[in-house]
Homo-oligomer: A and B are copies of this chain.
Amino acid sequence: MTITKSERSTVAFHDLQAVKKLRQLAEAPFDLTKPGNLTPERIGKYTAEACGYKLFYGTERIDDQVMSTLQELAEEADVISKMQKMQSGEVLNFIDGYESEERMVLHTATRDFFNNPIASKEAIELARKEVDKLDRFMIKVDEDDHFTDMIMIGIGGSYLGPEANYLALEHLHKENRRVHFVNNIDPDNLAEVLRKVNLETCLIALVSKTGTTLETMTNAESIRAKIEEAGLKPRKHVITVTMQGSPLDDKRKYLECFYMWDWIGGRYSSTCMVGGVPLAFALGFENFWEFLRGAHAMDKIALNKDIHRNLPLMAALLGIWNRNFLHSPTLAVIPYSNGLRRFPAHIQQLDMESNGKHITQKGKRVDFETGPIIWGEPGSSAQHSFYQLIHQGTNIIPLEFIGYKLCQSKQDMDYDGTTSQEKLLSNLFAQAIALATGEQSDNPNKTFEGNRPSHLLMGRQLTPSSLGALLSFFEHKVAFQGFCWGINSFDQEGVQLGKVLAKKIINLFANKHGLHRGGDYPLGEAFLKQIQTL
């Protein structure tokens, strides 16, 4: 494939004119608590809309001047041109002047099937070939009518996105079709799943880009043994998703092998076969296809220069305002949607692994804050958990709410004059208002200081297509923030040291079994010695 290296000159974040202006504006941010400041007009005015979603950001601490300066920041940092380069396949995953991955970032190609393709014909063809293979494979699975359960074995990006998306759409599952996830090397994880299934009717999906991930390969080996113990043939039960030529690419050993490429990062792999295999198995290929369609629609929106149309860019800039100028270390992602109960865990990886970086793409130590700490649980439940601290704690926590006008279920009930969905939405809107305005009281313990910023991304209903758009929204939000900061959002060198040291300690355990792996490692031995007496 022809690869174009991206133009590498970028102005450092702190040298952007807009950053200097924003620093001044942040000295007196909009006061949401001042009577008359948060009005119905403001809520209507600060609303952006695209792809069936509305973004309400009137409860952020922004005004017209902040918003126009954020738009300037986006222009100065040239983020739309970078997004175009990303989607068209230039090499954006690099560190200038140092050994680095030097890869394209082309997860958008895995759904660039609908209109006005921007990725290279070659990438789209590769991606499409796998989609068609998946379609054919699932037709066969349906015809054979043998498999009821899928056990998907993968970790990190080969687990969090697929699980979050599967749970979001689980209500659409075909009769007698379920997916279970084994991700942890903790043997209790596999045991937990094995208690729930009959291996005889299980399709196993092993997912590892390199085919060498310690946790995944260990669990793969454990389940192979279980399959054989049960008198079954692994060859008839196991499919893989991996890169061509990896140890998992072997049609003699596996029922089918689906491919991904070095231009898809694990955390960006939800729309390639990593996410496709479980969704198509459980919900049918058509639902996976609609999921891709939704993601693609948001990819197109991400190319729009106007932040009032480009929702992911808008959210990225609001995040930068809260992170770099109002100095919030964390961001809570709170879906008011039961289907999205594991979605924050996926966004946590997507964002923190992408933007938790301490050097720029030029290899310089940053002198500003990069990616925030992302965490969250579903509302309204979370109101009864950690909202106490959000309302009255000593840290300001910006919130990113997600909500839907309609529930997925047809079972909503009217009780005391309103439906449960209406009560859920009432809680959602009430929180955005309460956090913003706060409330004074003569009792200091009943005082709410307010000025807790939030915005709300609101859709009509959580469907395969709107889920795809939501996923793409977050993928591009993260990329836009990385473009503004001038960091490489697409590698993860920070996970390497732990892997190296873990291998040393694994060798110590192996030595104890008499295997003579060598590797004197006193710090590791200190821990092993301490646990002997437990």
By a CB distance below 8 angstroms, the chain B residues around A171 are 188, 191-192, 195
| Contact A505/B385 with A186-B420, A188-B407, A380-B184 known, Cβ cut-off 8 Å | no
By a CB distance below 8 angstroms, the chain B residues around A215 are 380-381, 384, 423
Evaluate contact between B387 and A506: CB separation under 8 angstroms.
no
In Å, the complex CA distance between A49 and B524 comes to: 20
Evaluate contact between B524 and A429: CB separation under 8 angstroms.
yes
Interface residues on chain A, number (Cβ under 8 Å): 161
Of the stretches A6-14, A62-70, A116-124, A367-375, the one at the interface is A367-375
Mark out the residues of chain A between 362 and 420 whose CB falls within 8 Å of any chain B CB in the assembled complex: 363-366, 368-375, 377-381, 383-395, 397, 405, 407-413, 415-420
Residue A115 at the chain B interface, CB threshold 8 Å = no
Smallest CB separation, A358 vs chain B (Å): 5
Of the stretches A39-47, A198-206, A280-288, A468-476, the one at the interface is A39-47
Residue A422 at the chain B interface, CB threshold 8 Å = yes
Indicate how many identical chains form the complex.
2
Of the stretches A143-151, A300-308, A431-439, the one at the interface is A431-439
Closest to A186 in B: B338
Evaluate contact between A336 and B222: CB separation under 8 angstroms.
no
In Å, the complex CA distance between A389 and B357 comes to: 6
By a CB distance below 8 angstroms, the chain B residues around A393 are 352, 356-358, 370-371, 373, 494
| Contact A188/B409 with A43-B527, A431-B498 known, Cβ cut-off 8 Å | yes
Smallest CB separation, A514 vs chain B (Å): 9
Residue A126 at the chain B interface, CB threshold 8 Å = no
Of the stretches A94-102, A130-138, A291-299, the one at the interface is A94-102
> Taking each of A186, A407, A513, which has the highest tally of chain B beta carbons within 10 Å of its own beta carbon?
A186
Evaluate contact between B186 and A386: CB separation under 8 angstroms.
no
Evaluate contact between B411 and A191: CB separation under 8 angstroms.
yes
Q: What are 11 sample pairs from A and B whose C-beta atoms fall under 8 A apart?
A: A40-B523, A157-B384, A159-B384, A185-B420, A187-B421, A190-B411, A357-B393, A370-B394, A425-B527, A426-B502, A429-B528
